[in-house]
Amino acid sequence: MSINKKDVAAILIFVALIVAFVFLVNNITGKGNGKEMDIVRDAVKNAALTCYAVEGMYPDDISYLRQHYNLSYNEDLYVVYYRPLASNLMPSIKVVERGNTDL
């Protein structure tokens, strides 16, 4: 049994399609995680804004938002860095994937 040029070309095309599919799936998954981080950041920001509208000040820490404004997110996947600047200034909010050390 010998392999001819058409068989080799078909195998190479098949392998190329599999590689392209894997690359596409990884790319889509990465964009999905970025969207989820945006949603978490927006949820924290909205809770902080609601607190400011109701109480006239931004909270000192994120635990206050969890307790009083029902903020929740998957803490196993994301770390939220919440740094208050002043009671009347929007805090600095950054969301990163757990295990990612990029700030």
- Distance of alpha carbon 68 from the chain centroid: 24
pLDDT band at 26 (very low <50, low <70, confident <90, very high): low
Q: What is the mean pLDDT of the chain?
A: 84
pLDDT given for residue 36 in this prediction: 87
Domain residues for the domain of 80 are 5-97
- Give dist(CA 42, CA 7) in Å, integer: 53
What is the largest distance, in Å, between two alpha-carbon atoms of the chain?
81
pLDDT band at 90 (very low <50, low <70, confident <90, very high): very high
Instruction: Establish if 102 belongs to a structural domain.
Output: no
pLDDT given for residue 9 in this prediction: 78
Q: What is the mean pLDDT of residues 83-102?
A: 87
- Give dist(CA 47, CA 39) in Å, integer: 12
Instruction: Establish if 63 belongs to a structural domain.
Output: yes
- Does the pLDDT at position 19 exceed 60? yes
- Give dist(CA 66, CA 36) in Å, integer: 18
Q: Where are the alpha helices (DSSP H) in 56-101?
A: 62-69
Instruction: Establish if 103 belongs to a structural domain.
Output: no
Number of domains in the chain: 1
pLDDT given for residue 23 in this prediction: 72
Q: Minimal CA–CA distance to 98: which of 40, 23, 22?
A: 40
